[in-house]
Structure 1
Amino acid sequence: MRCPFCGSPDTQVKDSRPAEDNTAIRRRRICPDCAGRFTTFERVQLRELMVVKKTGRKVPFDRDKLVRSFEIALRKRPVDRDRIERAVSGIVRRLESSGETEIPSEELGIQVLEALKALDDVGFVRYASVYRDFTHIEDFSQVISEVNARIARDITKDE
């Protein structure tokens, strides 16, 4: 692993441990040349995933971009970072185990919406407003009605 500070090609691993719900290995590293310390994460990648955009353009799947989407939707909301990581890891596992190497962006968006619905209603509405390209206030009311109907179903199911 190349040092991000000085570019030295050799770094030493000082500590390794499981991270993120045991889906990654966290490694603390040190550079023998500049004594810089940094952390890396190793994940198993079953296959190279490509996201097929609505235009037909294909881009490599980016887990960090998926995490940023969750963070933007859940900004200033009381949702633990660990819950976000578990949701993202679940989506990635489902995508990798599907057997498909090309994932339509619409399918990915739907999986994010489903995960956000389980995490936080406000985050769900925020993401839906961008994903579904809301243009009128009525679009918000419709999604909020859907959320309220789901909450009512969940309450009656629990009773």
Structure 2
Amino acid sequence: MRCPFCGHEETQVVETRESDEGDVIRRRRRCLSCDTRFTTYERAEVTMPSVVKKDGSRAEFDPAKMRASMMLALRKRPVSLEQVDAALQRIEQKLRSSGMREVQSSKLGELVMRELKKLDKVAYVRFASVYRSFEDVDEFSRLIKEI
């Protein structure tokens, strides 16, 4: 690690501590040239897959967008924010562990529907009706019977 003060290439780690959550490591370092101390932080860099939309365009995965669509489906439903956060974490974990560089938006929609089905049946039907673009009442009826 290069010293931010004098630019010397060699530094020594004096102290290492892990954060309470365990996701960040804090290191106190000392420059071997100017003897100045400074702190660095290490964090694992995990990239989420890009989302391939129906039209073939690609977009960066946006957890806020996914949260917003789930919250819209869950509007005025008896589901806590903790339950929503847990569902979002499960979806993100599945995406991370898949190792895929790209994910189809349809696959992402299916993951959201699966989580909504566990949380609240009404929210699931709301999301599915928009996501699947039902053309008539029969399609809607089939989905309700499926539940």
Same topology, TM > 0.5: yes
Q: Which runs of 4+ in 1 moved over 4 A?
A: none
Matches within 5 A, 1:4-153: 46-147=46-147
Higher Cα Rg, which structure: 2
5+ residue gaps in structure 1? 1-15, 24-42, 148-159
- Assess, with a 3 A threshold, how the Cα gap between structure 1 residues 71 and 100 changes in structure 2: closer, same or farther: same
Amino acid at match of 2:126: R
- Assess, with a 3 A threshold, how the Cα gap between structure 1 residues 48 and 111 changes in structure 2: closer, same or farther: closer
How far does residue 44 in structure 1 lie from its aligned partner after superposition?
A: 6.3
| Rounded Cα–Cα distance in structure 1 between residues aligned with 2:88 and 2:65 | 10
How far does residue 45 in structure 1 lie from its aligned partner after superposition?
A: 5.2
5+ residue gaps in structure 2? 1-18, 24-42
| Rounded Cα–Cα distance in structure 2 between residues aligned with 1:124 and 1:44 | 34
TM-score w.r.t. length of structure 2? 0.69
Percent identity, aligned pairs only, is: 42
How far does residue 130 in structure 1 lie from its aligned partner after superposition?
A: 0.7
Amino acid at match of 1:86: A
Across the aligned residues of Structure 1 and Structure 2, the Cα RMSD in angstroms comes to 2.1
